[in-house]
Amino acid sequence: MLETIWFVLWGLLWAIYFMLDGFDLGAGTLLPFIAKDEQEKRLVYKSMGPFWDGNEVWLITAGGVTFAAFPTAYAVMFSSLYSALMLVLFALIIRGVALEYRNKVEGHGWRDGWDILLFVGSAAPALLFGVAFANIFQGIPIDTEGVYRGTLFTLLNPYGLLGGLLFLCLFCYHGAVWLAIKSFGELKERAIIFAKVLWVPLLILAVAFLVASWFATNLYANYLAIPVLWIVPAIAVVGLLATRWFLEQGALWNTWFASSAVAVGATLFGVVGLFPNLLPSSLDPKASLTIYNAASSPLTLKIMLGVALIMVPVVIAYQIWVYHTFRHEVTAEELVNGEGY
């Protein structure tokens, strides 16, 4: 029972992370294409400024839960996907430095350089997270000793790359909607246009990924066995369709919440399909790591559950306060008088 509870929490933490950090990864990826002058670039940075570091708390939490609740899976994951995860880590570091250092020098060369690094530090994690999770969904080549029998290029298979493109497009769409909410003037209008344009390839990639998952993975087994679970992918599908309707109505916050539902539903689609596996093996089903053979002791799980029940609501309450406080559109006055970026 405790293993199942922690599996559910593990999946929810990843879903929350992709929902929240997804929009600023998307906004950073769109920066070179959507911002036409210095003011618009600063608008993009200001739209992320109060949120990005708080959003990454969920990544740390999800990684911490993997380490503490399922240490065997953590060890095998970070050895098997070492190259990909280190690239994600370095990219996130670059992004954080770009956000904080861009405003330190007034020169165009300095700021243009950090703009490029923000793009790289946003696009790379968005793509690589999708590649990593898609490979987990289809199974990675680990043997009965937990040794990875592949290379970085093994992960760059068609299904893995499709997952990467889906995540990248989803985050860019999520980011465009966020920029439409937070910006003003021509950037706001351009962000809405970008969102409408990105919706089409996002729909195509989502359908392609769902179809490919039928052939490349065993994710649908749980859904066929327990039909009520189809609610999970239905959330993503309905959310995606709703985003387009809300976008046409000009209801931008509703569009963002619907887009958030897509991110959560897409993540949980894979998590629910994996259960009870954490890292399925593509070499031998007996080598797969499950919530039972990879979990910590019952005492550890009980203590952690008590801590989580206290601390997670505190983090949620803090983030609700941050989003409520900075929910307003960034103004021209803030760009002049506030922190510059």
| Three-state secondary structure of the chain | CHHHHHHHHHHHHHHHHHHHHHHHHHHHHHHHHHCCCHHHHHHHHHHHCCCHHHHCHHHHHHHHHHHHHCHHHHHHHHHHCHHHHHHHHHHHHHHHHHHHHHHHCCCHHHHHHHHHHHHHHHHHHHHHHHHHHHHHHHCECECCCCCECCCHHHHCCHHHHHHHHHHHHHHHHHHHHHHHHHCCHHHHHHHHHHHHHHHHHHHHHHHHHHHHHHHHCCCHHHHHHCHHHHHHHHHHHHHHHHHHHHHHHCCHHHHHHHHHHHHHHHHHHHHHHHCCEEECECCCHHHCEECCCCCCCHHHHHHHHHHHHHHHHHHHHHHHHHHHHCCCCCCHHHHHHCCCC
Determine the Cα–Cα distance for residues 192 and 173; give it in Å rounded to an integer.
10
Residue 339, pLDDT score: 57
In this structure, the chain runs to a length of 341
In Å, how far from its chain's centre is CA 287?
28
Q: What is the pLDDT along the chain (341 residues), one digit of tens a residue?
A: 889 999 999 999 999 999 999 999 999 999 999 998 888 898 999 989 888 888 888 998 888 888 888 998 888 888 888 888 889 999 999 999 998 888 888 878 888 899 999 999 999 999 999 999 999 999 999 888 888 888 878 888 999 999 999 999 999 999 999 999 999 889 999 999 999 999 999 999 999 999 999 999 999 999 999 999 999 999 999 999 999 999 999 999 999 999 999 999 999 999 999 999 999 988 888 888 899 988 888 888 998 888 888 888 888 898 899 888 888 888 777 776 655 55
Tokens 């009965």, residue located: 144
CB 248 within 8 A of CB 263: no
Determine the Cα–Cα distance for residues 341 and 334; give it in Å rounded to an integer.
11
Residue 294 phi, psi (nearest 5): -120, 0
Residue 327, pLDDT score: 84
Residue 65, pLDDT score: 87
Query: For residue 64, what are the CA distances in angstroms to 58, 72, 162, 276?
Result: 9, 13, 27, 19
Determine the Cα–Cα distance for residues 288 and 139; give it in Å rounded to an integer.
8
As for how many domains the chain has, the answer is: 1
Tokens 């690589």, residue located: 128
Partners of 142 in the beta sheet?
148
By DSSP bridging, strand 289-290 and strand 277-279 are antiparallel
Partners of 148 in the beta sheet?
142
Domain extent for 236: 2-337
Q: How many C-beta atoms surround the C-beta of residue 37 within 10 A?
A: 10
Tokens 């696009």, residue located: 123
Residue 231, pLDDT score: 94
Tokens 């019952």, residue located: 298
